């Protein structure tokens, strides 16, 4: 197991470095720049600005300094548009908000999705199965950019039960609608994957043997069927968890939560390359990390994976 983890880490580190290099090249290959306006700055002012941010150095030097600062100091550099703030400050402001509602979205998606999938598989072709499949299909066709305005319309404008936006320190009434909007489509995917995987496991030979020995159905589900049925779900959970905890641009815009999704959009409009690259690298690093954790969990559940 230890050698398996070392091999995965040995692959993850160069992958992250390649991601940083590609992000740097793509950002600076785009036309225009963070200081390109309709009214151009005087040449002397532009030279001073470029020197202030180190943009007058050759691209290889800029790239080397950028990678060095990230690797040695975890420093993404200054923001080009948010004055007197660094990219680390921007991420430190937005990421805790996104992490909060993303984490609860993940908990809701896992809890409801796995429960629906298992119930549908156990009661195959019954009313419960049809109900679970119907809920999954309905949730799948309502992505967050559809759910968000519907939730605002119903719970804020019509019923007046929940505030229509803001964060207010993460109080529960400000978190409910972002969590529902973000978790719905993921919950549907988890339910469908769990149902199909559980049906396949329940029709396996070792499950029929356990039934023939007279074991209770509850014990068969918990001790024998659930663990192998979770393997396909685990494969999906890695990128899904990253997608949820790094937030959604739609959720941040509709509910004005102040998460990093809003900063990412504003930076794209303002050509704030350093913030765009910082958030991109953060998402990429989290994706690599959680895929690594999923691989480890996968190998723990199924020892054949280690070989």
- pLDDT for the residue numbered 206: 82
- pLDDT for the residue numbered 147: 85
In angstroms, the Cα distances linking 260 to 88, 96, 270 are 12, 9, 15
- Residue 95's beta-bridge partner residues? none
Nearest to 124 by CA among 111, 115, 133: 133
Residues in CB range of 248: below 8 A, 6 or more apart: 144, 181, 182, 261
Q: Give the residue ranges of the chain where pLDDT is below 50.
A: none
- pLDDT for the residue numbered 258: 81
Residues in CB range of 238: below 8 A, 6 or more apart: 287, 290, 291, 293, 294
- 8 A C-beta contact, residue 299 and residue 234: no
- pLDDT for the residue numbered 251: 85
- pLDDT for the residue numbered 46: 67
- pLDDT for the residue numbered 16: 81
- pLDDT for the residue numbered 51: 72
- pLDDT for the residue numbered 32: 64
- pLDDT for the residue numbered 135: 83
- pLDDT for the residue numbered 140: 79
- pLDDT for the residue numbered 102: 87
- pLDDT for the residue numbered 33: 64
Nearest to 180 by CA among 99, 115, 244, 95: 244
pTM: 0.81
- pLDDT for the residue numbered 239: 79
- pLDDT for the residue numbered 304: 64
């Amino acid at each position: 197991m230890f050698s398996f983890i070392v091999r995965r880490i040995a692959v993850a580190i160069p992958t992250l470095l390649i991601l940083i290099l590609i992000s740097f090249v793509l950002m600076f290959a785009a036309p225009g720049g963070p200081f390109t306006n309709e009214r151009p700055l005087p040449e002397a002012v532009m030279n001073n600005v470029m020197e202030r941010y180190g943009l007058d150095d050759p691209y290889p030097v800029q790239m080397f300094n950028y990678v060095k600062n990230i690797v040695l100091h975890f420093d993404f550099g200054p923001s080009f548009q948010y004055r007197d703030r660094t990219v680390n400050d921007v991420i430190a402001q937005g990421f805790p908000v996104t992490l909060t509602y993303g984490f609860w979205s993940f908990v809701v998606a896992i809890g409801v999705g796995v429960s629906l999938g298992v119930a549908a598989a156990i009661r195959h072709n019954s009313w419960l199965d049809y109900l679970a499949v119907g809920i999954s299909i309905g949730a799948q066709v309502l992505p967050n950019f559809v759910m968000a305005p519907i939730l605002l319309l119903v719970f804020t404008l019509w019923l007046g039960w929940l505030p229509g936006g803001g964060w207010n320190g993460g109080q529960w009434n400000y978190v409910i609608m972002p969590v529902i909007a973000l978790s719905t489509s993921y919950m549907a995917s988890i339910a469908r994957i769990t149902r199909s995987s559980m049906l396949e496991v329940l029709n396996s030979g070792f499950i029929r043997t356990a039934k023939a020995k007279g074991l209770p159905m509850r014990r068969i589900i918990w001790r024998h069927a659930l663990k192998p049925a979770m393997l396909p779900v685990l494969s999906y959970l890695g990128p899904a968890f990253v997608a949820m905890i790094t937030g959604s641009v739609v959720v941040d815009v509709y509910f004005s939560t102040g998460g990093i999704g809003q900063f990412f959009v504003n930076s794209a409009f303002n050509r704030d390359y350093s913030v765009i690259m910082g958030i991109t690298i953060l998402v990429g690093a989290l994706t690599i990390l959680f895929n690594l954790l999923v691989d480890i969990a996968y190998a723990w559940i199924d020892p054949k994976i280690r070989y």
